[in-house]
């Protein structure tokens, strides 16, 4: 049995970032950029209008106001995407839409709101006026977005290692990037083990258990950017388990659940010892203390000389904690993520708890904001049952081995980021 920190070091030492691939920009959300991005264009390419309004000469509206409007002759309209062909001369104005090119001769744009343009109109001005009254005086360059104000040609836009979210995707699209190089998503083979397991949708009979671990693992892989490959259930026979593992050898990672303890039918360690190396098979942290990590070397088909394998705990509570604490950083490392440490925060215990085991125990908990203070209850599992607590938890709270935590003490909490927020408010009944 080794410390969790040591186990994590071993995992990360044997996990490498995958190679890059070129993909369509629209398929890269959540992936890590594998190249430096520079703009091929100056954006905007020319001066454009900020609001809908009138392109005018600032000299023609100097001193204008509500009580003393400037009256200009309208000589046309410029829409977004249209190149104006007329030049503004003294005493003239041109209607202009947001994002349209400012015509030559104009040096500012007056908003419709500052003119006698009809309010609450629908579509183009059907009145087709020949004149417009201007009620404001503006300085040159007012309401104009200068050429290159968004980005200059050749300017650096994004660095290698950036995670592509909606804002990054938008920026890449704005400079015309249709395809980019990103770190490849890992393909993860998923195997459940155990004679007691049955598939979802079947009638539960005495002695049988639904294969919930596969569902959890698949969901977890997808959430953290991987591509799951479900290989089904391996029964408690060495040959059956080995056959499933061999099917997964073309993947980038294999994750199994169950069969890693010391029972008569826990065969995973025996199988792994025959085809590779097991680095550890038990850690000083629970639930999920019985978890193994190793590398397959024999008959490895992935072309990398070694295939990492996680053998997670069979009980779903332990399996999920193994995923969160060991598999999560491995998946992030494989995808080139820079930030792989699990976020940890301090919260105030709203009740007491006592650990009877000699190593750190992780409890399913909910963070709550009470008057600006983060609080967490430690007895949710005892009150609700572990399964209900797990289903409603938004965090894992660390209870050190042998610790006595009293109400008001500070505790370390791991927020579960699959909830898409640091924590949710409210505590279930």
Q: Is this structure's pTM higher than 0.75?
A: yes
Q: 48-145, which class in CATH?
A: mainly beta
- 26 C-beta neighbours (distance < 10 Å), count: 10
CB of 54 closer than 8 Å to CB of 110: yes
**How would you classify the pairing of strands 345-349 and 276-280?**
unpaired
pLDDT in tens, 385-427: 888 888 889 999 999 988 899 999 999 999 987 544 333 333 3
- Quickly name the fold that domain 22-41+154-183 has: Molybdopterin biosynthesis moea protein, domain 2 (3.90.105)
Burial class (CB in 10 A: 0-12, 13-18, 19+), 329: buried
Is the pLDDT at 211 greater than 70? The verdict is: yes
**Dist CA 140 CA 57 (whole Å):** 8
**What does the DSSP 8-state code read for residue 102?**
P
pLDDT in tens, 18-56: 999 999 999 999 999 999 999 999 999 999 999 999 999
Identical fold at 22-41+154-183 and 48-145?
no
**CATH architecture, range 345-419:** Beta Barrel (2.40)
CATH number of the domain located at residue range(s) 4-18+185-334 in this protein? 3.40.980.10
Please provide the DSSP assignment of 166-204 as one string: HHHHHHHHHTT--EEEEEPPPEEEEEEE-TTEE-TTSPP
The reported pLDDT for the residue numbered 422 is 39
Is the pLDDT at 323 greater than 80? The verdict is: yes
The reported pLDDT for the residue numbered 265 is 43
**Dist CA 101 CA 146 (whole Å):** 10
Domain layout of the chain by residue ranges: 4-18+185-334, 22-41+154-183, 48-145, 345-419
Q: How far is CA 382 from the centre of its chain?
A: 33
The reported pLDDT for the residue numbered 418 is 55
Q: How confident is the model at residue 103 (pLDDT cuts 50, 70, 90)?
A: very high
Tokens at residue 243, please? 């056959």
The reported pLDDT for the residue numbered 428 is 35
The reported pLDDT for the residue numbered 426 is 36
Q: Which of 62-76, 179-193, 254-268, 355-369 has the lowest mean pLDDT?
A: 254-268
């Amino acid at each position: 049995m080794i410390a969790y920190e040591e186990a994590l070091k071993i995992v990360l030492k044997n996990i490498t970032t995958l190679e890059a691939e070129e993909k369509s920009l629209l398929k890269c959300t959540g992936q890590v950029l594998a190249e430096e991005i520079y703009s091929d264009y100056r954006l905007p390419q020319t001066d454009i209008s900020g609001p809908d309004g009138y392109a005018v000469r600032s000299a023609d509206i100097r001193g204008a106001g509500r009580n003393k409007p400037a009256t200009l002759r309208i000589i046309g309209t410029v829409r977004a995407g249209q190149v104006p062909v007329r030049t503004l001369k003294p005493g003239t104005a041109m209607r202009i839409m947001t994002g349209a090119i400012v015509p030559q001769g104009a040096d500012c744009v007056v908003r419709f709101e500052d003119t006698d343009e009809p309010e609450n109109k629908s579509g183009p001005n059907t009145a087709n006026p020949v004149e417009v009254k201007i009620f404001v005086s503006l300085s040159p360059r007012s309401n104009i977005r200068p050429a290159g104000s968004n980005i200059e040609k050749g300017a650096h836009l994004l660095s290698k290692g950036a995670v592509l979210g909606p804002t990054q995707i938008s920026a890449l699209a704005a400079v015309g990037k249709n395809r980019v190089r990103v770190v490849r998503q890992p393909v993860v083979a998923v195997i459940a083990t155990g004679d007691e397991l049955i598939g979802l949708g079947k009638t539960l009979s005495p002695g049988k258990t639904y294969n919930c671990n596969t569902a959890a693992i698949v969901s977890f892989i997808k959430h953290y950017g991987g591509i799951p490959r479900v290989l089904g259930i391996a029964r408690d026979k060495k040959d059956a388990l080995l056959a499933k593992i061999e099917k997964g050898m073309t993947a980038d990672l294999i994750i199994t659940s169950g069969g890693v303890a010391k029972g008569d039918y826990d065969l995973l360690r025996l199988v792994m010892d025959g085809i590779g190396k097991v680095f550890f098979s038990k850690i000083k942290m629970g639930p999920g203390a019985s978890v193994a990590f190793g590398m397959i070397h024999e008959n490895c088909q992935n072309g990398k000389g070694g295939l990492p394998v996680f053998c997670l705990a069979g009980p779903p509570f332990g399996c999920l904690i193994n995923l969160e604490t060991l598999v999560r950083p491995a998946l992030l490392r494989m995808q080139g993520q820079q930030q792989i440490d699990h976020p940890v925060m301090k919260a105030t215990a709203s009740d007491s708890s006592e650990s009877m085991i000699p190593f750190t125990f992780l409890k399913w908990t909910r963070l709550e904001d009470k008057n600006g203070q983060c609080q967490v209850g430690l007895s949710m599992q005892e009150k609700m049952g572990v399964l209900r607590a797990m289903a409603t938890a938004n965090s894992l709270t660390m209870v050190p081995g042998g610790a006595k935590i009293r109400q008001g003490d500070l505790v370390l909490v791991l927020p579960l980021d699959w909830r898409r927020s640091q924590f949710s408010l409210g505590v279930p009944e």
